[in-house]
Structure 1
Amino acid sequence: MKTRLALLLSLSLASAAHAEDSVAEIWTAKCKSCHGPDGRAQTQMGKKEAIVDMSQPAWQQAQTDADIREAIAEGSPRNKKMKPYKDKLTPQQIDALVAYIRGMKKG
């Protein structure tokens, strides 16, 4: 019984770690070139397009999860160069990106 519980716990932790790796990989592949590794948009494209710093507390507070989800799925209403990802990412991947962005808060 203890062995089974330990195995289930190990698998859940491994799965959570893999999910975190997966969202980081998605961020790197799809978002990082404009938004930067930390959401601050201090990239060539981020500066050129005046992309907002998503780590700012004011931005984090002003945006709902639904707002962020919609911008990822449908494209940015503020910047037409950000195309929709609804056909490229699953709803679960979009939700994972929302949580990833929420983790970018400046402390």
Structure 2
Amino acid sequence: MKTRFALVLALSVAASAQADDVADVWKAKCKSCHGDDGKAKTKVGEREKIGDMSLPEWQKNHSDEKIRQAITEGVSGSKMKGYKDKLSTEEIDALVKYVRGLQAK
């Protein structure tokens, strides 16, 4: 029983640490344009006409692969540069999930 509890505790701590890590990546790399909440209500977001990631319509029109590609390669015709040389595959995958979590309920 103690072993099971220790395993559950370790997994919970690891999941929490990963959530903190992706939030830190978002703050460092994404927040200045997309905002805390993905609504892009920032100077850059409004100037560049960045879409509101929290809207169900935005979420529906952007597959995980499309989001992953934007993060990895950047977005053509915009100021967004790719992060393939700055973020690991795991960090990019975590950001895709983070973006999915921005959807307004």
TM class by shorter-chain length?
over 0.9
Matched, 1:103 2:101: yes
| CA displacement at 1:78 relative to structure 2 | 4.5
Task: Give the TM-score normalised by the residue count of structure 2.
Answer: 0.97
Unaligned runs of at least 5 residues, structure 1: none
Identity %: 48
> Which secondary structure state, in structure 2, belongs to the residue aligned with residue 52 of structure 1?
coil
SS in structure 2 at match of 1:50:
coil
Structure 1 pair 57–66 and aligned structure 2 pair: CA distance change class (3 A) = same
Q: How many Å separate the matches in 2 of 1:6 and 1:86?
A: 38
SS of equivalent to 2:4: helix
Partner SS state of residue 38, structure 2: coil
The within-5 A match list for 1:63-74 is 63-74=62-73
CA distance in 1, matches of 2:71, 2:56: 20
- The residue aligned with 2:57 is 58
> Which amino acid is the alignment partner of residue 103 of structure 2?
K
The runs of at least 4 consecutive aligned structure 1 residues that moved more than 3 Å come to none
Q: Distance in 1 between matches of 2:16 and 2:76?
A: 33
Task: Please provide the CA RMSD for this pair.
Answer: 0.7
Name stretches of at least 5 consecutive residues in structure 2 with no aligned partner. none
**Partner of 2:20 in structure 1?**
21
